[in-house]
Structure 1
C-alpha cells in the first residue's frame, strides 16, 4: 500500500490491496517544509507517521468491506511489530522520494 503525496497537498492511496508493504511516496518537487498533510507527520528523511484513520479516508481506497477487514489485520500486525505509535494512533511508514 502506497500513500502518494503530490505538490499542492494532494494525498492519495495507490496499490491499496498490497497489504504487505506500507510506504509514503513523495514526488519530485514536493517541498516538505511548506506542505501540510493532515494525518501525516514526517519524522525524518526516511520515516513518517500516518494516522490509522487517514488511510481509509484517502482517494483510491476501494469501497469494499473485505478491504476494511484486511486493513484492520494489517494494523494489528503492525502493532505486533511495534510499528504503531499508540499515542498518535499512527502507523510508521517508510518514506521514498521519486523523481
Structure 2
C-alpha cells in the first residue's frame, strides 16, 4: 500500500516473501479501511489476503497465475491459508514512507 493508500503489487514474481507493506505513519483503522477490497487485518502484524482479489491485482498471464497457485498450495500445510475463506495469510510490514 502506498503512502496515499493505493493498493499495488510490488515484485509480483516474488512468491517467497509474501507480505503487506504499509506506511508506518498511517493509523491502523485507516489502513484496514483501505485494505478492505483486498485483505482484512487480523491484528497489527497479520493480514488475510483474498485470493480472488490478489489474482485480479496480479499481472495477466497463465505463468503468474500458476506461480500464485503453487505458492498457495505450499502455504496451506503451514496454516497460512484460511480453511473457511481461502484467504492467504500475510505478514504486515510497517515501513517509513
Mark yes or no: TM-score above 0.5.
yes
Residue from 2, 15, 21 that aligns with 1:6: 2
Give 2:66's aligned residue.
69
Alignment length (residue pairs): 93
Name the structure with the higher helix share. 2
Q: How does 1:1-99 map to 2 (within 5 A)?
A: 5-35=1-31, 36=33, 37=35, 38-58=37-57, 61-99=58-96
* Unaligned residue ranges in structure 1 (runs of 5+): none
Q: Which moved more, 1:30-39 or 1:69-78?
A: 30-39
Report the TM-score when normalising by structure 1. 0.82
> How much is the aligned-residue C-alpha RMSD, in angstroms?
1.5
- Which structure is higher in RCO with an 8 Å CA cutoff and minimum separation 6? 2
Q: Which has the higher strand share?
A: 1
- Runs of 4 or more consecutive aligned structure 1 residues displaced over 4 Å after TM superposition: none
Superposition deviation, residue 7 in structure 1: 4.6
- The structural deviation recorded for 1:9 is 4.1
Gap regions ≥5 residues in structure 2? none
Give the deviation of 1:29 after TM superposition: 3.4
When normalised by structure 2's length, the TM-score is 0.84
CA contact (8 A) 1:25 1:96 kept: yes
